[in-house]
Amino acid sequence: MQVVRRSVSASAEAVFAVLADGWSYTNWVVGASHIRAVDAGWPAPGARIHYCMGVWPFTVEDATTVVACERPYLLELTARLWPFGAAGIRFDLLETHAHRTEVRMTEHVIEGPARRTPSFAQALILHPRNAESLTRLCEIAERRG
């Protein structure tokens, strides 16, 4: 399981507003290249974002589904990227001061061939990617503010 944290100068509601904007995911999710559709009701449980990952012509189409949502403090997702597998991703937002929030992103492989990858190898791939994604997410939240 990979965990990255970042403190951001924005309220939990401001950070959650970025998470709740399914069309913004290509702006902050590293590797996401195109959002094809966002289900009505995103980020309600069961709603999905349909996307492409990778660089054309080497893209994979799949979807991310909301597992749980407690606005503005929790968003839990299942992100699929077949044929590689699927990951459970969780965002926890904790307001530490007025307009200051700690954002924690947790990811772990939950199904598919990537699940057999040793945890140290997963960390080599996931940690830098997630740290950059979290940095981008927080920068957007601060700008929107």
- pLDDT per position as a tens digit, 32-86: 999 999 999 999 999 999 999 888 888 889 999 999 999 999 999 999 987 778 9
Domain membership of residue 52 (yes or no) is no
Residue numbers of the domain that contains 72: 2-21+64-144
Domain presence at residue 14: yes
Domain with 84 in it: what CATH number?
3.30.530.20
Question: Of 119 and 41, which is predicted with more confidence?
Answer: 41
pLDDT at residue number 45: 98
In a domain, 6, yes or no: yes
Q: Burial of 2 by CB count in 10 Å (0-12 exposed, 13-18 middle, 19+ buried)?
A: buried
How many whole angstroms separate alpha carbon 52 and alpha carbon 111? 19
In a domain, 77, yes or no: yes
DSSP state of 29: S
* CA separation for the pair 117, 95 (Å, rounded): 35
Q: Is residue 109 part of a domain?
A: yes
In a domain, 138, yes or no: yes
In this predicted structure, what is the pLDDT of residue 1?
Answer: 76
* Total of domains in the chain: 1
Q: What is the mean pLDDT of residues 6-20?
A: 97
Q: Is 86 domain-assigned? A: yes
Q: Mean pLDDT lowest for which of 69-73, 116-120, 135-139?
A: 116-120
Q: Is residue 50 part of a domain?
A: no
